[in-house]
Amino acid sequence: MPELPEVETVRRTLTGLIVGKTIQSVTVSLPRIIQRPDDIRRFEMELAGHRILDVGRRGKFLRIIMDGLVLVSHLRMEGRYGLYRSEDPVEKHTHVIFHFTDGTELRYKDVRQFGTMHLFLPGEEFNHKPLAKLGLEPLDEGFTKEAFRGAIAKRTSKIKPVLLNQEYVVGLGNIYVDEALFRAGIHPEQPANTLSDTALESLYEAILATLNEAVNAGGSSIKSYVNGQGEMGMFQHSLRIYGRQGEPCLNCGQPVEKTVVGGRGTHYCPNCQPSDRTGSSVKAGHGGGNAVKKRFDNVHASSGRSTGNGVKS
């Protein structure tokens, strides 16, 4: 499933491909993709004649902004957009086609058929499903340390499901949550409300670093997205922990483990992400002989707790 960096890459690519074009007509061949309005003929008719002004993003949703309308699109598992000429043969699994007045077409292809599209008047989209209850946007200016702390610090659930919950912070899925927790040295099952201020700060920085790196890596796949048939990479070259079970941890060399947290496959290093964070500072205290660990421990050099938050649960 695409996460924020992949959707952001699609957003940037689409911006270059379709902004300025005017929709002549729309063809829907799989009605279930269209969630709003209920009537797909109305969906097709309402879009005709509108010009695309911009492509935005909210969490993992694309917002195709037109003069007088906004189309909210979620790619879910396998959704793909591609720009074609109208004479190009229509590939299998193409469910929605936006025909432009210049003879090109934006085609939406979805093998799994889980993708969704909702049509709104501008601004209306934020008050309705699926965007209404979304949480903080991690690449926006409003994503400050304080806002992040406010959103998650009181949650009693394990940190991994808290980060996956789109009502607190949007855009993080299974891959980048594992990546961010690894970078921050936090065990995926640690209850969110037991994280120290230092740990929360490390996590905040780790989320930003992970997402920004992946977004930048995504930029390099834009070309293939345009020239190929709308395929986008998952940027696996930049993953440090996800999918590496049994392989040596990039920090300490110990084998990466895989477990299940909140029903999701979860990758972590038991050494770098101890389940008891008070343990990590203890280890740092007498682990002088463990040079490979040092780089990691330095990040948490000040993680000795002065509050009751670190008490073993």
- Kindly state the smallest distance separating residue 247's Cβ from Zn ion, in Å: 11
Per-residue burial over 172-188, b = 16 or more CB atoms within 10 Å of its CB, e = otherwise: bbbbbbbbbbbbbbbbb
Extract the annotated binding site for DNA.
Answer: 93, 112, 155
**Please, which of residues 262-281 interact with Zn ion by CB under 5 A?**
269, 271-272
User: Are 265 and 160 a contacting pair, CB within 8 Å?
Assistant: no
By 3-state DSSP, what share of the chain in percent is helix, strand and coil, each rounded to 5?
A: 35, 20, 40
Sheet of 94-100, strand order: 23-28, 94-100, 104-109, 80-85
Residue 102 or 247: which CB sits closer to Zn ion? Answer: 247
Tell me if 251 contacts Zn ion by CB under 5 A.
yes
Residue number of the CB closest to Zn ion reads: 249
Q: Which of 149, 258, 264, 283 is catalytic?
A: 264
# of chain residues touching Zn ion (CB under 5 A): 6
Which residue out of 36, 58, 60, 158 is catalytically annotated? 60
Q: Which of 69, 199 has the CB closer to Zn ion?
A: 199
Q: Which is nearer to Zn ion, 130 or 185 (CB)?
A: 185
Tell me if residue 3 is catalytic. yes
- Among residues 252, 267, 297, 300, which is the contact residue for Zn ion, using CB under 5 A? 252
**CA distance linking residue 70 with residue 54, whole number of Å:** 10
Residues 183-222 contacting Zn ion, CB under 5 A: none
What is the three-state SS of 93-121? Answer: CEEEEEEECCCEEEEEECCCCCCEEEEEC
Does the annotation count 270 as an active-site position? Answer: no
Which parts of 149-188 interact with Zn ion (CB under 5 A)? Answer: none
Of the candidates 227, 143, 178, 186, the one whose C-alpha atom is nearest the C-alpha of residue 3 is 178
- Read off φ and ψ for residue 65, nearest 5 degrees: -95, 125
Give the catalytic positions in this structure.
2-3, 60, 264
Q: Interface with Zn ion by CB under 5 A: which residues? A: 249, 251-252, 269, 271-272
